[in-house]
Amino acid sequence: MFHHIKNFFVKKPTIVTKEDILKDPLPQHIAIIMDGNGRWASSKGFPRIAGHRAGAENLRKIIELCGDLKIHYFTVYAFSTENWKRPKEEVDALMSLLVEYIETELDVLKKNGVKIKIIGNVEELPNKAQLQIRKAEKETSINSKLFLQIALNYGGRREIIDAVKGIVRDTASGQLQLDDIDDNTFSKYLYTVDVPDPDLLIRTAGEKRISNFLLWQCAYTEFWVTSVYWPEFSSKHFYMAIDEFQRRHRRFGGL
């Protein structure tokens, strides 16, 4: 209680440092909607794919920050089920960039103790992307320093529908009883099974919506939005988001 009273009266610093946020408990699980790659590129006169490439390079830096801060779980929204509506040329370039990113970064991620899990419908991605994803998951499966979830061909509504289908199948076969279905049971049928819900959700590029991302899991997640485009999102902004999270009083429906 006194911690929250202290934070209420202390003037928020204009610049937040690593030392500032280490004074209080850090979020266990951070999720990010990496938005604004295309707009960043357009603002600089570059093709949109240049923005996605810059965004991929920035992801590397933020993953390193998570490792440095000892954040346990980190989830990023990389490609949604709705993103297939984009021009074929852009989608093809994104899939090629995905393969290139995994090929380039896998050894570093393994060395840094990062465990990779892809959430979404991987089987609908190009074969080369599927092979790289399975390779990355297999070769990082024993790591435990940072659990990195990458949402690819992911949609929150589809995830919930898939969970319902799984529950219906298991109920019909007698593996699950109707009265056994509760929040905990339902969570076990989601793509994020055994991963705690996000404490903090960051969205870049100024949009104030959840965009079909982790709909079930974000029931009590704290949101932080910045107008900064994802390629320019830095440690400064990351620390600011965590600092804001630490200043909030999470009541979870209570007082």
Candidates 237, 30, 49; CA nearest to 147 is 30
Reply yes or no on whether 127 is catalytic.
no
Task: Render the burial of 46-70: b for 16+ CB within 10 Å, e for the rest.
Answer: eebbbbbbbbbebbeebbebbbebe
In whole angstroms, give the CA distance from residue 127 to residue 122: 9
CA distances from 196 to 43, 61, 154, 242 (A): 37, 23, 18, 17
Candidates 127, 108, 129; CA nearest to 118 is 129
- Provide the H-helix boundaries in the chain: 2-9, 18-21, 37-43, 48-69, 88-111, 127-139, 156-172, 183-187, 235-247
Candidates 118, 122, 116; CA nearest to 140 is 116
Candidates 237, 235, 242; CA nearest to 24 is 242
Reply yes or no on whether 83 is catalytic.
yes
- Phi/psi at 8 (nearest 5 deg)? -65, -40
Q: Which of 35, 197, 199, 243 is catalytic?
A: 35
Q: Which of 83, 112, 121, 212 is catalytic?
A: 83
In whole angstroms, give the CA distance from residue 190 to residue 183: 11
Catalytic sites, residue numbers: 35, 83
